[in-house]
Structure 1
Amino acid sequence: MRKFLLAAVATLALGSAAMAQGHADRGPHGAPMQDIVGIHAELMLAERTVTVHLYDESGSPVPAAGYTGSALVGSGQGRQVVQLAPTTENTMAGTAQAALPRGAALTLQIRNPAGRSGQARF
């Protein structure tokens, strides 16, 4: 009985952690967010525009000056690269040549001002 209760408590704890993690995967704008090179990048797509908002661990905006990036958008046999550049205080954006397909796989690569780079898949 004791083992059963311990297993039940552990299962509930893991379920709560998973739910909390899922909630934390969304940024302030409600879009998916992942860690890349020490920052949180929130990815937003609209028509032909790729927008990335940058935040620190506490959720405060990180100035985009000095950051560069690109997004590789793939759908079926088609692929396109969208170059990202700082646009506003904590935002980088770029425009694709063609409309972004719904449900396309996207790999985001960001290079910070110190020259470190990283990537995440959305």
Structure 2
Amino acid sequence: MTTRRLMAAGLAALVLAPESLRAHEPRRGPNGGQKVDIGSNHAELVAQGNTLRLFLFDAADRPMAVSGATAQAVVLAGGRQATVPLTPVGENLLQGTGDFTAARGMRAVVTLTLPGQRPAQARFTPLDQD
């Protein structure tokens, strides 16, 4: 490929990239938290005080049963790291508390294991959304 063709291909990729990236950008969920893909499903993380609430949805955004699920979040907030176990407390809700205070700039990595499935991970910045 000539240099001119390579440059044209690169420019085309840049023009098309924002549309394809938007599909994977975090979005706000129905509970006001950040919603991202986790495995073949969706998860919404709500952080408030020292509590994390993780809502699960299937690929069609319908609430998903969490009985038998296990999860944990590794939270980085205020320059400190905390591991927070999340346990089922509702139909599609896992919840846990830990040694952190939710604030802008916090980050969380959630590892979720659903019955009969492999663990899946998702990264969240729950308070840094628009």
State whether TM-score is above 0.5: yes
2:55 to 53, 62, 66: 53
Aligned partners of 2:120, 2:21: CA distance in 1, in Å?
Answer: 25
Partner of 2:97: 95
**Structure 2: which 5+ residue stretches go unaligned?**
1-10, 125-130
1:21-80: CA deviations, max 9, x gaps? 55x722222321111132100010000100000001111100110111001011364111
Q: Normalising to structure 1: TM-score of the pair?
A: 0.77
Q: Secondary structure at the match of 2:73?
A: strand
Write the letter of the residue equivalent to 2:54: V
> Percent of aligned pairs with the same residue?
31
Q: Secondary structure at the match of 2:44?
A: strand
Aligned partners of 1:49, 1:68: CA distance in 2, in Å?
Answer: 16
Q: What pairs with 1:67-78 in structure 2 (closer than 5 Å)?
A: 67-75=69-77, 77-78=79-80
Instruction: Report if the CA contact (8 A) 1:73-1:100 is conserved.
Output: no
Q: Normalising to structure 2: TM-score of the pair?
A: 0.73
Instruction: Report if the CA contact (8 A) 1:43-1:50 is conserved.
Output: yes
Q: How many residues align?
A: 114
Instruction: Report if the CA contact (8 A) 2:70-2:113 is conserved.
Output: yes
Partner of 1:3: none
Partner of 1:121: 123
2:37 to 19, 35, 38: 35
Partner of 2:128: none
Aligned partners of 2:90, 2:72: CA distance in 1, in Å?
Answer: 17
Change (3 A) 1:18 1:36: closer
Change (3 A) 1:57 1:121: same
**Structure 1: which 5+ residue stretches go unaligned?**
1-6
> CA RMSD of the aligned region, Å?
2.5
Change (3 A) 1:83 1:90: same
Instruction: Report if the CA contact (8 A) 1:37-1:112 is conserved.
Output: no
Change (3 A) 1:60 1:15: same
